[in-house]
Structures are given as C-alpha cells and as structure tokens.
Chain A
Amino acid sequence: MSGRKGYIARVSGPVVTVKGLEDVKMGEVVYVGEEELIGEVVRISSDFFIAQVYEDTSGVRPKEPVVATGKLLVAELGPGLMSRTFDGIQRPLRDIRELIGDFVQRGVKVSALPRNKKWHFKPTVGKGAKVEEGDIVGEVAETPLITHKVMVPPGIKGRISWISEGDFTVDEPIAEVEYDGRRYELKMMHEWPVRRPRPFRERLPSELPLVIGQRVIDTFFPVAKGGAAAIPGGFGTGKTVTLHKIAMYSDSQIVIYIGCGERGNEIAEMLMEFPQLVDPRSDRPIIERSIVIANTSNMPVSAREASIYMGVTMAEYYRDMGYDVTLIADSTSRWAEALREIAGRLGEMPVERGFPAYLPDKIAEFYERAGRIKTLGRPEREGSVTILGAVSPPGGDFNEPVTIHTLRFVGAMWALDTELAYRRHFPAINWLRSFSQYADTVERWWTRNVSKDFPQYRRRALRLLTIASEIEAIASVVGEGALPDDQRLILLVSEILKEGFLRQVALSGEDVFCIPRKQYLLLKMIIDFFDKAYELITKRVSVDEITKVPEIFEMMRVKEDERGIKAVEDLYRRTMKKLDELAQKYGIIYSG
C-alpha cells in the first residue's frame, strides 16, 4: 500500500489539492508535504483529489510529495485508552509533550496505544472454542476501575486454535482463530474507521435514568442511559460547568469527554481535578474511568471535525464490552463550524448562515450513535452510549441552524438561560423552555426505587412553576402587593422551589450531588407545604402570616445541610407542625 505518491498542486489553509495519485478513496488518510502532515481525502476528481489536513499548513508548498496510506481515518481500540488524553485524531497529548515540549508542533506521529507497554491478558475461553465477532475471549485489568474485555473484532469468526495467558503488548498475538483453513491472529488491539458506527445485535428501549445528581435534570428533565440530550446556551450560562459536573458525578461507568474547539484552561481544570476527585461509588479517582479528547479552539479546525467521531467510536467500543458510557461533546457548535469552514474552502454551496446543506444529516448521524443496545457476541450483554452535546448558539439565540437541527434529534434539552445566569442561579436551566421525552420512560425507575408518588409531585411542581411565571408577568405590571393572597402564595412557593430545589451549589459540599431520595424529599416538603398553606389561605389566614413562618428560609437552604436527608426530614416535621399550630390558632380543621 505504501509508496503511492503524488504531489501538491494547491494549498489554501487546511484544504490541499493533490495531483499524480490515482485510485485514492474517500476518507483515506494521506501524508501531506515534506513534514508528512496528516490529512483525509474529502473530494475526488478524475485527475486530482482534495484532502483536508488536520494540522497547520503554513509553509507547505506546491510540488511537495503526498503519500496515500490506503487506510481510512481509524481509531485504535484496545487497552491503554482509559485515563488518557488525546487530540482530535487520537494522538496522546502527554506523549507529544514528552516528545516535543509544551507546544503542539505539527507533523508529530505518536500511536494512540502505547506499543511497549505489556498488559496481563487472561483468557476467558479455551482452545477449540468456537467464536464469532463480538465474543469476549479474555480480559485485561486496564485500570483498577475498568476491566477491558478483549473481543473478536467485527468480521472474524472460527475456532480458537491457540490462546495464551500472559503479558503482551497490544500488537502481539494472544490467540489464533482458524476458519476454513485460514488463520487469523487475534491481538488485544484493532482499528475501526471512525465515521462508521460499530455493529450491534439490537436496539433496546432506554428505561434507566442517567443519575446526574442535579435536581433540575434528574427530577424534571432526565436523560435515559442510551439517550441523547442537548444543552444550548449563550456564553457564561454554564454549559461547561454543568457538563463537567456530569462527567464527575453522574453514575456512568465510563465518561468520554470531548473538548471540541473550547478553552484550554477548561481542559487543564479537568485534567487537574479528575485524578483527585474520588468516585463515591467505587472509591477510586474518576480519571480511571475517563478519557479526554482535547482539541481546543486554537488547535487545527479540521481535527476538531474529526474529534467528535473519534470520541463516539471509543464510546461504542466500551459499550460493546457491556459498559454504560456517557459521551460529552463540548461544543457541537464548534464542530459544526469546522464543517462549515471546510465546506466553504471546498466551494460548496452554503444554505443557512453559511452552513452546508448536509449539516442536519451530520448532526443526525452523530446523535443516532447514542443508544442502549444488546451487543454482538457472547456472553450476552447490554451496553449504552449516552450522548450529551453542548450547543453554543450565536448571541444566545436558539433560532439558528445548529440548535434547531440538534433539537430534532435529541430526546431532551436543557435550555440555559442568560437571565438566570445573571442572577447566578445555577444550573441556569430554564424550567419552562427545557424538555425531556425520557421523563415518562424513566418514571418507572423512580416509582420503584424512590417513591410511588414521585411522578405526582414532579408534575405538580412543574405546573406550579408554570403558573408562577404567568403570575410574575402580571406582578411586573401591577406590583406584587396588588395580587390576591393565593397568587402571592404561589409566588412564595415558586421562590422556595427556585432557591431551595432548582438552584444547586456547584462548587463543593453537600449540594454538589443530590441523591434521588433527597431530591424527592425536598420536593415533597415544598409541595406539601404549599398544600397546607393553601388550605389555610382559603380559610382566611393571610399570606403575610404564612410568610412569617421562619422555616421558609430554612427550606431554601436545607439542601446544603451536611446532615443530608436527616435534615430534610427534620425540617419537614417542623414546618408542618408550624402550619398546624397556625391552623390551631385560627381554629381551622383541615379538610383532607
């Protein structure tokens, strides 16, 4: 394959025209110029082809050589991915730093999986076993948290003619499969073209919630394991902070975080925190179950385009082992802009706001790679890829192509709100504009694991917030003082909901992760308070009297109390008692 050589005819930014090289295929990887910059074939004509180059092309000249590799853009899959940091084309960034220093220079070639590291391979099938694609043949302890399952790669089947336990590098054979007289050496690694979804047996419905620990998401706008959610918001509304929280605290077994065209310091923050932060469920640092792909905004644009596919391919690979994987893409808008830039350089006809006409297809293809599935192969297992994508709409205005098309293909949206962010109400997820189609499907999990009446509290709280927003609109014209008592009570309770339930302290302490049971108890406390207070009001207790109940301020901050659930339960009792006393004072007997 090697040795097929052509030469550069034209250079314009990352787009390079090549002549003198026939029979290349779309998506084939080429090495461009004297420095062998990595590129991919994106257009083919009878006497030339065009490659997009993943590195800066300054200084590259016409007539320099171009070598075709015969390979598509692939991800290396095998032990050694976990807990590491890669760029958009899967080059390990720490190795690059060791090799060439603090700045990423172009032309560096480092393979994704270390070739000299030995892993201890333990077979789980014996000699003579019949295997086919997807079958697990052995295991490697990749990190203390993740057992790497070595699988028969797609397209291979037969009988194991030998398999051995021991310490191997990723490209040493660990077994051999024989079929029809042909022999195939199994290694711990294989390659997969990143733009092609990995095969599976069948899709399964997504019924389990991804528990994130953020009340506004888990309770009101949940995402199911295997679902897809988008988080659009203008700058400063907290997309990245929210996604970082999910990466750190959600109950996913594996997190793959793609920093796509975003800030370098944010990646630095993650890389600083992940090794320190201990996952309470396993008592191990979360870096042991995480992979970071960092293609920051100043790194080459075309590698930004590739980074998304690189990430989702790795996610599918671990899904195939039977893991629940969360893939976070921050931000898909930068990816779409990379598509736009390359399309522009290729002279493609733009449609909306300069984006190419195939933008919706690309977005759909990406989110369709989410899902809960039954894998190929034995033993039978299920895995999932949940995709969470940040969207950065220009001017914070959701009426733009990337947001619009994304919302067509995701099951949940967490709409970030500038007004809330200005008030430092975080997460600044607007409860009126967000939606989740998974709310109904994951409800069963809540009723079974938390409480039967959870759905009813959830719906009532949402309704109360909706009504409150209408009343607020009126109040902003006539003033709160002019409203009837029942409406003022709704405003008061919505205030408690916002401060005591929706707003969550992101930095540290008790409130950084709220367990489902506590979410439910907080909600129950506030809604039960409303019901009781409402009844008092209808029986002519004034709302001012209720506002004076000192427990109201406690309801707003009990979420932070380090005693956790106990504190909520205690406050619940005291608040109800206070209202009962009030009822007694006015000689009221409850109807319910």
Chain B
Amino acid sequence: MGSDVWYFDSEILTRYPGKIYRQVKELRGNLLVIDGVEDSAYDEVVYIYSRDGRERAGRVLETKIGEAIVQVLGEREGLETDILVKFTGSTFKIPVSEDIVGRIFNGRFEPIDGLPPVVSGDWREITGAPINPVAREYPHDFIQTGISVIDGMFSLVRGQKLPIFSVSGLPHNIVAAQLARQATVRGEGEEFAVVFAGVGLRSTEANFFIEQFRETGAIERMVAILNLADDPAVERLMTPRIAMTVAEYLAFDLEMHVLVIMSDMTNYCEALREISTARGEIPGRLGYPGYMYSDLASIYERAGIIKGKRGSITLFPILTMPGGDLRHPIPDLTGYITEGQIFLSQELHTRGIYPPVNVLPSLSRLMKAGIGRGKTREDHRYVADQLYDAYSRGVKARDLARIIGEVGLSERMRRFLKFADEFEKVFVNQNPEENRPIEETLDRAWQALATLPEEELVRIPREMIEKYHPKYRG
C-alpha cells in the first residue's frame, strides 16, 4: 500500500531502539489508547510518529496486558488514529555531562541555543529518587542576598526551598533576578551556579532572565530549561523535573552550589490539572488532583544538602497566586512543602516600595540555624522578632486609623504606626541594584526600632539593646 510508505523512509525510526505499534484505538485530549501492547512499562517513554512527519514524545500512564494508555508530550493537533508509536523500553532520561553548563534547552531537553546536542553516556531518570532522610545535612549556611527584608527577617540558608508567592503584574522576576545575582555565602568566594526552569513563561519573561544572566556573565554558570507559553502544556510537567535532575548532577556530581529558580509554578499546576482531568481522575479542591501535594513534593524535596558531599541545591519556585488568594490550593500546598515563603503584596507595590514584600505572612523556617553570633550577628534573631511584633502592631494601628482616624488612636498605637512607616521606608525599601551587607541591614533595623521607646523592645535582651541601639552607639 503506497500510503504506508511514509513512515518507513524516515531515519528517525531507527534513532531509538524499541517495539513499534501502529494504530491507536482512541484519542482523548492528550491521551492515546493503544491496543495490542503486551507489556509496556509503567512510565515508559514512547515516541509517536504521525503522517505529517513529526515526532512527539509521550509516556505510559497506565499499562495492562493488551493495552497501554499514553500521554502525548508535544502538540496534539495533527494526531490521528493511523500513527506509529514506538515503545523505548525505558523511562524518561536525560544525558548529563559538564557540557550542559552554559546551555539552553527546551522542555524535552533538546538544545535551543543553536549548539549541538549533548553527548554523554550518563543518562539520568528525570523523576529522581528521594534523598534518604538520614543522609540529609541540616542546612545552616546563611546566604546573603543583599536584600534587607529577606536577609533581616527571613534569612535563607543554603539547601533551603523558599518560594516567592506573587500576583501577576508584581516584580517577582526582578526580585528573583536580584536574588540570583547577589546571593553569596559570606566568607566563600564561590558563586552559585544557576539552573533556571521557565515553566509556561512568556518569551519576554524568559528573555529577561537570560539577558540578566548574560549581562552579569552568570550565563557561564547557568543552565536554562525553557518551556514557553506557546510550547506544549504537557511538557510543563517535565520541565521542573529536568531542572532538578540537572541541579542534582551539578550539586552532587560536580560539587557545585546550585540555585534553582522555577517560574511560574502556577503554570505547572494548571498543566497537572489539565492532564488529570483528561484522565478522568477524581478531582480534589478546585479540580486540582488529590495528589498535587505529593507531586509538588517530588520536585521540591529534591533540594537540600547531602552529608559528605560538597554541593547543595537551593530552590526558589516562583508562583503567581490565582486571584491573589493565599488559600488557593497552589500556594497553600506549596507552603506546606517548602521551608517558608516570601509573599509579595500589591499594596506595597502600589505605594512604590521595592521589593514589595509583605512581611507578616512571609517566613523562613530554616532561619534560626543560619543566623546569630559567628554567622550574621548576635542580635539578629531578637531584632527580627521585635520587628515582626512591632510591625504587626503598626499594621493593626494603620487599619484602625482608617476607621477611627489617627487622632482616635492611643499614644502607644500612634508610635507603632510611625514605626511601621519608618520600617517600610528605611528597611524594606531599596533599589533593585542595591546590595546591602547584613550589618547594614541590621543597623537599618535598629534605626527603625529607635522610633519606639526602649521599654517597648521586650523581645530584645537588655545587653543587646545597650550594645546596638543607636542611642548607645552615639
């Protein structure tokens, strides 16, 4: 039959080994039901060849004797029932070698920087394996980001996973780029390698990051995995996993300290919901699958430090909260997995404060191990505690003043209100190019705290007040 010849003369058929099946029984969204498959492996990678001459990847979601259900990665337009499906016999793997550093890939780990493909005999499964909890080193090295509100109030440590919760239109990408640019561990000259996973990003956003890295020369130490907004949604499920596989290789094989930035993980979750719905699974909250927590954890928990190894993975997922709602399943489940969160606020942004970090709901769980005498400064923890306490009172006073007017406030509340203003002005606000050492950050904190009477500083021990309060330092 003449019409059958199309697939035999294609060289791509011989590119991978494996069994080939023709004909699918059913096409349903991104899912193919293929008959007659005897023993495909769960999670096995398949390649799909259609009459239009294109190659698509896919993976097995369900397998039984005589049938396999395959999820197509890549565009589904143009698929028909008369196609060829090749079962490769193995799960999804990527080749790793030192040559991947400085490169840019798409969501299937194919180079898109015009350079040749990576050649390596070392292939890694992108799903990874969980780090044995007893092999984990508890993170404790303070990372100075040069951003006061982060360093001072939710200090981050090497090996931590700390997401940025944002809303569309806020400068989360600028904050992330500043973080990547300025992050250092003090006392060590070594710079972080950056793995950037663009998940469903618009190309302008992706270019912004790439340009930033190019300008500072960081591109030499960067690997970018880009799944853009017009790339297939299903590949978004693989993009962060590829990024983490690359990060693990850089950190635990090449002993580098790696910063992973993922933006925007909301797109990942949307893709997860899309696939889950197509499979007819029982939906959880707002239609997101019930296993979204475990699924996100299987990505985020790959960050960390392993005892006896030199490298580390520090992770910054960025996500935009749908409707700005912290209780939406995406930020909610993320917050349960990550070690804190940095919360950006529309209100502060409108008032012209950069970075517009809403301090009160932000948090770093690993802060305590990274700060204090010998690490940052002995007063750090107390100052941070006091700032939280005073600022929360100040915000409360501000809310109250909106109802009853500032004159109706007690004298004490007015003082906290004044403190809140001062705090936002001298401590939070800074320039996107400004890199403040931790000492300056803490001194600015004291400057704000000095607007309060000394006896209000109940969370700071007496001797610290006498040592660091501007009044005693002259």
Contact = CB atoms under 8 A, between A and B. Distances in A.
Contacts of B159: 265
Contact of A104 (B90, B130, B337, B455): B130
Interface string A59-99: 11111100000000000000000000100000001101100
A337 interface: yes
A469 to B, nearest CB: 14
A172 B355 CA distance: 66
B410 A60 contact: no
A265 B290 contact: no
A61 to B, nearest CB: 4
B332 interface: yes
Contacts of A60: 41-42
Given A297-B337, A394-B285, A261 B294 contact: yes
Interface string B398-441: 00100110001110010000000000000000000000000000
Nearest to B329: A394
Contacts of A226: none
Contacts of B328: 395
A128 interface: no
A353 B284 contact: yes
A11 B62 contact: yes
Nearest to B139: A265
A481 interface: yes
A235 B335 contact: yes
A61 B41 contact: yes
B458 to A, nearest CB: 5
B44 A297 contact: no
B301 A297 contact: yes
B410 A507 contact: no
Interface string A357-385: 00000000000000000000000000000
Interface string B222-260: 000000000000000000000000000000100000000
B291 interface: yes
A557 B458 contact: yes
Nearest to A507: B368
A267 B388 contact: no
B463 to A, nearest CB: 13
B443 interface: no
Interface string A309-350: 000000000000000000000000010010011001000001
A301 interface: yes
A316 to B, nearest CB: 24
Interface of B is mostly: mixed
A64 B40 CA distance: 11
Interface stretch (B178-186, B206-214, B345-353, B359-367): B359-367
A224 to B, nearest CB: 30
B293 A337 contact: yes
Interface string A531-542: 000000000000
Interface string B361-388: 1010110110000000000010001001
A353 B290 CA distance: 9
A553 B44 contact: no
Contacts of B304: 264-265, 268
B418 to A, nearest CB: 17
A477 B301 CA distance: 45
B130 A480 contact: no
Contact of B129 (A104, A236, A263, A556): A104
B41 A58 contact: yes
A294 B133 contact: yes
A486 interface: no
A299 B336 CA distance: 16
B191 interface: no
A38 to B, nearest CB: 16
Nearest to B301: A298
A9 B127 contact: no
Contacts of A56: 127, 129
Contacts of B369: 269
Contacts of B127: 56, 58
A13 to B, nearest CB: 8
A181 interface: no
A581 interface: no
Nearest to B336: A235
Contact of B408 (A97, A102, A392, A482): A482
Contact of A97 (B135, B285, B297, B409): B135
Nearest to A426: B385
A178 interface: no
Contacts of A197: none
Interface string B37-67: 0111111100000000000000001111100
Contacts of B306: 102
A479 B332 contact: no
B38 A298 contact: no
Contacts of B137: 268
B132 interface: yes
A178 B160 CA distance: 59
Contact of A265 (B38, B91, B138): B138
A105 interface: yes
Given A341-B290, A344-B281, A479-B400, 6 more contacts: A10-B63, A11-B63, A59-B43, A344-B282, A394-B329, A477-B404
17 contacts: A56-B127, A58-B41, A102-B309, A103-B135, A264-B130, A264-B136, A264-B301, A268-B136, A294-B134, A296-B133, A297-B297, A297-B301, A340-B290, A392-B336, A396-B332, A423-B388, A424-B385
Interface of B: 38-44, 61-65, 90-91, 125, 127-139, 159-160, 252, 281-285, 290-291, 293-294, 297-298, 300-302, 304, 306-307, 309, 326-329, 332-333, 335-337, 339-341, 360-361, 363, 365-366, 368-369, 381, 385, 388-389, 392-393, 400, 403-404, 408-410, 413, 455, 458, 461
Interface of A: 9-13, 17, 56-64, 85, 93-94, 96-97, 101-105, 234-236, 259, 261, 263-265, 267-269, 271-272, 294, 296-299, 301, 334, 337, 340-341, 344, 350, 353-354, 392, 394-397, 418, 422-425, 476-482, 499, 507, 550, 553, 556-557, 560
Counting from the closest, the 10 A-B pairs by CB-CB distance are: A395-B327, A297-B297, A10-B64, A298-B301, A58-B43, A268-B136, A235-B335, A479-B408, A103-B129, A102-B135
